[in-house]
Amino acid sequence: MEKRVRVVIGVACALACTLARANAQVNVTVSSSQITDAYMVWSQSPYTAANFPADGGNNGGGQGWSLIDNTAVFSGNTLTLSPNTNTWAAGNTYWTNPDGTGANTMQASSYAEVDGGLYAGQSVTLTFNVLSDTLAAAALGGGYTAEAFIKDFGPGYSYNGEQTVALTSGVESVTYPLTGNNPGEIVQYGFEVIGPDANPATVSLLGDVVIAPVPEPSTIGLVVCGLLGALAIRRRKA
């Protein structure tokens, strides 16, 4: 009986490890040690995606920011994203409309960057758990949207493509298959909030989105093996 238990445990561990080592597959999740970069792109009205400089428009700007400036805050590995308040400037007509609303749509990206072609030729999947999403609809620009993304760049940040998924609730994922074997390929994965710049005095009324990590398949496999091993030891002592 004891031998049979060892065989079952061995097979289960082998299956778990095989799952963890799926061919040409990279699995990532939310991590404060990985998602450390931030970038902001902004565009004045009309509020269309094509108006962002990153999409070929010329009415706005873009530059690297910090996570704090992007209002992206980690507590452990749980990430909270809120509407941007860093550019709010009452009386400055570039940033603030006469009625007190934000004059720009902000695209705040918080992400991890992997360069050197480390993921070249593999399929990258970002999996995460949306614990809550209370971003409120606003009159300007149709409110706020939040999404997860994986972006692919060549050397010098030449744009190759991307995949996005809107954040709703519960466990979600987004996958981007990288092709070829480019030694200079750059991959970015993370999250972004798009919407008007907000007044710091009232931003708390606009809500936020809270995102937690999901164990990667390799971690799940190790946990399964550990539990089965503990069970075997317990049976031997019985």
Q: Closest Cα to residue 211, out of 172, 162, 176, 164?
A: 172
Question: In the prediction, which pLDDT does 43 show?
Answer: 83
Bridge partners (DSSP) of residue 152 are 161, 187
Mean pLDDT computed over every residue of the chain: 79
Q: Is the pLDDT of residue 107 over 90?
A: yes
Q: Is the pLDDT of residue 71 over 60?
A: yes
Question: In the prediction, which pLDDT does 117 show?
Answer: 86
Neighbours of 107 (CB within 10 A): 23
> Predicted confidence band at 233 (pLDDT cuts at 50, 70, 90)?
very low
Question: In the prediction, which pLDDT does 59 show?
Answer: 59
CA 150 to each of CA 54, 59, 62, 106, 175: distance values in angstroms, whole numbers, following the listed order: 15, 25, 19, 19, 7
Which is more confident, 57 or 188? 188
**33-52, pLDDT tens digit by residue?**
999 999 999 987 554 554 44
Topology, domain 30-214: Jelly Rolls (2.60.120)
Q: Is the pLDDT of residue 191 over 50?
A: yes
pTM score, two decimals?
0.77
Q: Is the pLDDT of residue 72 over 70?
A: yes
Helix (H) or strand (E) run with residue 9 in it: helix 2-20
CA dihedral 37, 35, 180, 164 (to 10 degrees): -90
111-124 average pLDDT score: 92
Question: In the prediction, which pLDDT does 183 show?
Answer: 77
Query: Rounded to whole angstroms, how far apart are CA atoms 54 and 131?
Result: 30
**195-207, pLDDT tens digit by residue?**
888 999 988 889 9
Helix (H) or strand (E) run with residue 232 in it: helix 217-237
Question: In the prediction, which pLDDT does 9 show?
Answer: 41
Q: Closest Cα to residue 100, out of 108, 91, 111, 109?
A: 91
**142-175, pLDDT tens digit by residue?**
589 999 999 999 888 889 999 999 999 999 999 9
Question: In the prediction, which pLDDT does 45 show?
Answer: 56
> Predicted confidence band at 14 (pLDDT cuts at 50, 70, 90)?
very low
Q: In this structure, are strands 104-114 and 37-44 parallel, antiparallel, or unpaired?
A: antiparallel
Task: Give the residue extent of every domain in the chain.
Answer: 1-24+216-238, 30-214
Question: In the prediction, which pLDDT does 16 show?
Answer: 41
